[in-house]
Amino acid sequence: MKVVVIGDTLVNSQTLIEAVNEMKLGGTIEEIESFEWYSDLTKDQFQEHILAIERGGPEAVEIPAGIIEALSNADYLFAHYAPISRKMIEAGQRLKLIGTCRGGLENVNLEAIKEKEIPLVHVIRNAEPVADFTIGLMYAETRNIARAHCAIQQGKWEKSFSNDSYKTTLANLTVGIVGVGYIGKQVIERLNGLKVSVIAYDPFVDRERLAADGLNVTLKENLTDLFKEADIISLHMRVTPETKQMINKKYINLMKPSAYIINTARADILCKEDLVDALRNKKIAGAAMDVSWTEPIPTDDPLLKLENVTLTTHIAGDTVDAIPRSPFLLKKVVNDYMEKGYSDMLIKIE
């Protein structure tokens, strides 16, 4: 069999090759052909191409030279940030599986994969760091950690905050998880360890699999119930046409005045105007977000004038080992899929 890998500045092709050699693909790997997608750039230079693919998708950027010919007789394709375009997918007449190991799927033409009925395994390379960070934001916002520090730097010794009448320990709160994918499950696992009550909503989740994974969570039939009941709502969905601005005033207005929103997923899940209105008018207690609708946040952004929001600079997944070692996480998931015939990381394209 033949495997094609595509490296880039953040994940080199040699690491992908090492991971492929540990994959149990059901036969002998006769050839691994590697390609590079701007691997010679610095991280700062590579950022330009990251933004291009996130804004325009795989058809808006150049694909590696020679990749079309290589895919014509390839059985597997593995990449990190490189584009997986329609032209590439259509060239891969023998492809049995495609695997990626980055946070989102903006670099993949999902419609073409659906048409060709090629299984797509997507590993969220920084799931554990993001899950850790999500819990950190819950503490930071509900207990005013960041804003107390900021006040001290400004020469103030603040002891009173806008959420004073709601402050309590995390164990006294119910956390609502929206989206029980890989990261959502990691957050639930951590909350279980902290003995925090967890409810969740995800129309695609398998209840039996959750139980088999040992996760203690109550699934809700709809978002309405979750937003009414939760004290903290943590968002963990992908941005799709169906989820874009899905969390708007329809649901925000259902929240308790003591409740919080946490977002370490994508900003476009939330309707910014409705969130700002709720925070400004104290309809909810607060919000904490690692993502923004424009990055960097403009200096005149209304969020910067609010006293009940914690903002960070899209760093939830930024650890020294998460990205470079992501092919080995992909290896683990591919092996699980090859053995069982299914995986939590197998993308269901509706």
Note the pLDDT tens digit of each residue in 18-68: 999 999 998 999 999 999 999 999 989 999 999 899 889 999 999 999 999
Is 80 tagged catalytic? Answer: no
Query: Of the given ranges (110-124, 141-155, 247-261), which has the lowest mean pLDDT?
Result: 110-124
In whole angstroms, how large is the CA radius of gyration of the chain? 21
Answer whether 347's CB lies under 8 Å from 122's CB. Answer: yes
Which of 314, 325, 339, 350 is the catalytic position? 314
Neighbours of 346 (CB within 10 A): 15
The Cα–Cα gap between 304 and 281 comes to 15
Question: In terms of residues, how long is the chain?
Answer: 350
* CA–CA distances in Å: residue 227 to residues 223, 239, 244, 248: 6, 19, 17, 11
Answer whether 76's CB lies under 8 Å from 31's CB. Answer: no
- How much is the average pLDDT of 212-236? 96
Confidence of residue 345 (pLDDT cuts 50, 70, 90): low
Nearest to 284 by CA among 151, 166, 179, 147: 166
pLDDT of residue 320: 81
Determine the topology of domain 2-125+323-340 in CATH: Rossmann fold (3.40.50)
Residue carrying structure tokens 């291009």: 52
Equal fold, 2-125+323-340 vs 127-311: yes
Which of 102, 147, 238, 266 is the catalytic position? 266
Which of 59, 69, 158, 295 is the catalytic position? 295
Averaged pLDDT score across all residues of the chain: 94
- How much is the average pLDDT of 259-276? 97
Residue carrying structure tokens 């850790």: 132
Is 190 tagged catalytic? Answer: no
Full DSSP string of 107-141: TB-HHHHHHHT--EEE--TTHHHHHHHHHHHHHHH
pLDDT of residue 212: 83
Percent of the chain with pLDDT over 70: 97
pLDDT of residue 138: 98
The Cα–Cα gap between 188 and 197 comes to 9
- DSSP letter at 165 equals G
Report residue 261 as tokens. 């929103």
* pLDDT value at 350 more than 60: no
* pLDDT value at 9 more than 80: yes
* pLDDT value at 349 more than 70: no
pLDDT of residue 59: 96
The Cα–Cα gap between 290 and 310 comes to 8
Kindly report, residue by residue over 231-261, the tens digit of the pLDDT: 999 999 988 889 999 999 999 999 999 999 9
Write the single-letter amino acid at 347.
I
Angle at 111 between CA 110 and CA 115, to 5 degrees: 115
CA atoms within 13 A on the CB side of 182: 23
* 127-311 CATH pick, 3.40.640.10, 3.40.250.10, 3.40.50.2300, 3.40.50.720: 3.40.50.720
Going from N- to C-terminal start, the domains of the chain cover 2-125+323-340, 127-311
Confidence of residue 321 (pLDDT cuts 50, 70, 90): confident
